[in-house]
Amino acid sequence: MTPERRSFPREVGSLPAVFDFIDEFFDRAAIGGEHRVPVHFAVEELFTNLIKYGGGREEILVELRREPGRLAVSLTDLGGQPFDIRSAPDARVDLGPRERTPGGLGIHILKRMVDGIDYEYVDGRSTTTIFKKLG
């Protein structure tokens, strides 16, 4: 199946259109509904982090690819700052809420909901790709 790409304005209000894009792809690619919640969660976390911390000003590019046995979802921040979420420390979920340092819980959960993460920063383009096994 050919990858599908679409750019979205860098604003939280774009998330419903991003989810519609994902859902339409799921339907065309015959991907089971059980994968929607983890993919939606991961994309929402990545998209909102790019808005808050990415530093870019251009739209965010979302690409969906069905590969043998898995789904690949890439978010590219054009002109953004490099940030590899794989290097983000795990949240201290072993501590009580009052002992924890705020932040990082979304990435912590994202890492456990997907089956792989790649990252690339080239010529001002910061791309994070998540993988979800299908089947």
Q: What is the DSSP string of 29-83?
A: HT--GGGHHHHHHHHHHHHHHIIIII---SPEEEEEEEETTEEEEEEEEETPPP-
For residues 71 and 64, the answer to whether their CB atoms sit within 8 Å is yes
Check residue 96 and give its pLDDT.
67
Other CB atoms within 10 Å distance of the CB of residue 23: 15
One digit per residue, the tens of pLDDT, for the chain of length 135 reads 789 999 999 999 999 999 999 999 999 999 999 999 999 999 999 999 899 887 778 899 999 999 999 999 999 998 878 888 877 766 566 666 776 565 556 676 778 889 999 999 998 899 999 999 997
Check residue 59 and give its pLDDT.
94
For residues 42 and 117, the answer to whether their CB atoms sit within 8 Å is no
Specify whether domain 4-133 bears CATH 3.20.20.70. Answer: no
Amino acid at 17: A
Question: Strand 116-122 and strand 70-78: pairing?
Answer: unpaired
Check residue 102 and give its pLDDT.
57
Question: Strand 125-133 and strand 116-122: pairing?
Answer: antiparallel
Distance CA 125, CA 119 (A): 11
Check residue 45 and give its pLDDT.
92
Check residue 55 and give its pLDDT.
75
